[in-house]
Structure 1
Amino acid sequence: MSDDHSADSPALPTGVDRRSFDGRMRLSTRGGPVYGEPVDSDGWRAWDAGRSKLGAMLELGMDTGLVGGETVLYLGAASGTTVSHVADFAGATYAVEFAPRPVRDLVGVAEARDNLFPLLKDARDPDSYAHVVESGVDCLIMDVATRGQADVAVSNRQFLADDGRLLMAVKARSEDVTADPDEVFADVLSALESAYEIIETERLDRFHADHLGIVARPK
C-alpha cells in the first residue's frame, strides 16, 4: 500500500495530521485510544483507514470540505472507531447508532470526549432524534450498512445547513449482494439527486471492497 499523496490534495482538517507510526506516515488525531490503535509520545493516535470509510476518503485525497470545528451528525457510529476521530477535531458531534451493544461502547468513548453525544436511534427514523440534534449542522457523515442508503441520506437532509456537506460511504452489498456494484452506485447517486448535488465520488476499494465514497452538498 503506497503512502504517496499528491501535493495538490486538499488540506487535512485542523486537528488531523500525518504522523510516523512504525516507519509509515499515517493519518492521526489527538485523543484517547479507542480500538487498540497506536499512539505516539505526543498523544497523536493513528487513524486506521482500513477500519474507517471517512479515513479512507481522506487518505485517497477526496475533497471532504472538512476544516475542523464543524458540527457533525454521524449516522452509523457503531462502537465509535471513526466517530471518535471525528470528535477529536470537530465541534459538537451527534453519533447515531441503532444497535444497543455498540452504543454501550460508544458511551464509553464519549466519556473522554465532552463534544460527543451518543444516540441510540435508527438513522432511518430521523424524527426520533430531531428533538436532540440541532438544525443546520455543518456536516452529515454517513456509514450505514442497510438497504436504502440513499433514502437515509435524503431523510436526514433536514439537519444539514444549506452550505453543509454530505460525506457518505455506500456499501454495495448492503443494497443488493447479487448486483454489480457499479449499477448499485449509479442507482444510489440517482436517488440522491432529489436532495443533493454530487461534488465528487471515488471507489474506496483500496481500503474497503465494493464501497463508494461520495461528497455532496444539499440542493
Structure 2
Amino acid sequence: MGKPGFSPRGGGGGGFGGRGGGRGGGGRGGFGGGRGGGGGRGGGGRGGGGGDRGRGGGGRGFGGRGGGRGGRGGGGGGGRGGGFKGGKTVIIEPHRYEGVFIARGKEDALVTRNFVPGSEVYGEKRISVETNGEKIEYRVWNPFRSKLAAAILGGVDKIHMGPGCKILYLGAASGTTVSHVSDIVGPEGLVYAVEFSHRSGRDLINVAKKRTNIIPIIEDARHPHKYRMLVGMVDTIFADVAQPDQGRIVALNAQHFLKNGGHFVISIKASCIDSTAQPEAVFAAEVKKMQADKLKPQEQITLEPYERDHAVVVGIYRPPPKNIGS
C-alpha cells in the first residue's frame, strides 16, 4: 500500500505513522491519525467528522469541509453541514426581496421559507428556527446550482418575484430553482414550470406533487400555443433555456402570457449562443434583439464567481407610456 507515510488518495499523511495509508487515509481505511486523519476524500483537518469517529468521507458538501453523510452530525447534510455551518445560533434576516431570507450563523447562507416543511428537493440543508413558539423551516439556496440564487448574491437590483406572484418559468429542468421560486411566491402564488426534457420532467412532476403552487408543463417552450390553455397571464417570466434562439423563445412566451408592464429575468449562457465570440459581445447582441421584441432590458449582471460566461438580464415588457404632461 505504498510507503507508510504516503497515501495515494487523500488521507492526512497516511494517518500518522502509516496506519491509515492506502485509499481511506484516516477515515475508514485504518482509523489512524487521531482526529481528522483525512476522512476519505478531500478530508484532512476536521472533514468527515474526524478520522477515528464516524465514517463521513470528507468534503462532498459544496462547502468543501463537512463530511458526505453520517459522520458526527448524522443526517443528510453530512458531518457538520454540507456547506452551510450554522453553529448553535442561526439568525434569520429578511432579504430586501420579499420571500428571500439570509441565515446568519458561523457562515451566512441564502435561504427561502420551506413551502412544504419536512421535505427537501435536491438534498439541500434545512434550518428550523423557532420564533414566538412557532417553528419555521428554511431551505438553504445554493448559488452554484441555481442561476437565480447566483444573481441574487451577485447583487441584482430586482427579481420581480414575491408572495402571490404568478411566474412562468422556462427551462425548469428538475425543479431545483423552481422549488425555491415556489417558496418565494407562497400559497397565493403560482409557478408555471415548462421543461422539454422528459427525463428532467419526471423529477419536476415529483417536485410538483408535493408543492401545490407548481404547475409542471412538459412541452417545448418554442411553441407556447401548445400550453396556452394551461397558463394564465403572468407577472414575470424567468428563462434559463440555454438555446441559441432563447431571445425569440422569451419574446413568443411574453406575447402569449406576460402582462403589459410585466417583467422578465433571462439567464444567458454566452457559449450556447455563439461560442466563437466574446461573451460581452454576445450579451450585447442579445440585449439588442430583446429591445426589438418590446422587451426593454433594465439591468444586466454577470454571474461570476458562481458561473462562467453567464449573464442575467432583467427588464420590463411593453412598459406603460410615460405621461409627458404630468
How is 1:109-188 mapped onto 2 (pairs within 5 angstroms)?
Answer: 109-135=207-233, 137-158=234-255, 159-188=257-286
2:140 aligned with 1:40: no
**In the alignment, what sits opposite 2:102?**
18
Distance 1:16 1:111 in 2: 23
**In the alignment, what sits opposite 1:60?**
154
Distance 1:35 1:153 in 2: 27
**TM-score (norm: length of structure 2):** 0.61
- Code of the aligned partner of 1:94: Y
Distance 2:161 2:183 in 1: 13
Distance 1:116 1:108 in 2: 11
Unmatched segments (≥5 aa) in structure 1: 2-9
Return the structure number with greater strand share: 1
Count of residue pairs brought into register by the alignment: 208
User: How much does 1:165 deviate?
Assistant: 0.9
Distance 1:198 1:144 in 2: 18
Identity of aligned pairs, percent?
Answer: 38
TM-superposition CA deviations, 1:113-153 (whole Å, max 9, x none): 10101100111111111111002x01100101111111111
Distance 2:191 2:182 in 1: 6
Structure of greater relative contact order (alpha carbons < 8 Å, 6+ residues apart): 1
Matched residue SS, 1:185 = helix
Which is worse superposed, 52-61 or 70-79?
Answer: 52-61
Return the structure number with greater helix share: 1
Query: Quick one: which of 20, 28, 31 aligns to 2:111?
Result: 28
- Code of the aligned partner of 2:102: R
TM-superposition CA deviations, 1:136-173 (whole Å, max 9, x none): x0110010111111111111112111121101110111
Is the Cα contact below 8 Å between 1:12 and 1:58 reproduced in 2? no
**In the alignment, what sits opposite 2:11?**
none
Q: CA RMSD in A?
A: 1.5
Distance 1:172 1:69 in 2: 33
